[in-house]
Amino acid sequence: MENGRPDKLKTNLLTRLNRIEGQVRGIKGMIEKDTYCDDVLNQITAVKAAMDSVSKLILESHIRGCLVKKIRNGEDEIVDELLATIKKLL
């Protein structure tokens, strides 16, 4: 993101990451209190899904913003970079 993400997106991402941080702290509490395996695993699955939503939002904003602008400017190396990123995420 060259000129930064829009403020609305930043607030959205930070709210989601704050919630994720709280969930991770919650899992620590579950481990300390010997919570049953299944409940802990459900909570971990929830954190991973929340992380996936954050990556989709970031990728979307990258593609709509940066990628489109750079392709129009002929800076096609952005395409190699996008493909490398998608491969890592898949």
* Whole-number Å distance between alpha carbons of 90 and 87: 5
Q: Interaction with its own copies in 8-47: which residues (CB under 8 A)?
A: 10, 13-14, 17-18, 20-21, 24-25, 27-28, 31-32, 34, 36-38, 40-42, 44-45, 47
Backbone angles phi, psi at 53, to 5 degrees: -65, -40
Query: With binding defined as CB under 8 A, does residue 81 bind its own copies?
Result: yes
Binding mask 43-72 for its own copies (x = CB under 8 A): -xx-xx--xx-xxx-xxxxxxx-xxx--xx
Q: How many CB atoms lie within 10 A of CB 44?
A: 14
Q: Which 8-state DSSP code applies to residue 33?
A: T
CB under 8 Å to 24, separation ≥6 — which residues? 47
For residues 25 and 81, the answer to whether their CB atoms sit within 8 Å is: no
Interface with its own copies by CB under 8 A: which residues? 1, 4-5, 10, 13-14, 17-18, 20-21, 24-25, 27-28, 31-32, 34, 36-38, 40-42, 44-45, 47-48, 51-52, 54-56, 58-64, 66-68, 71-72, 76, 79, 81-90
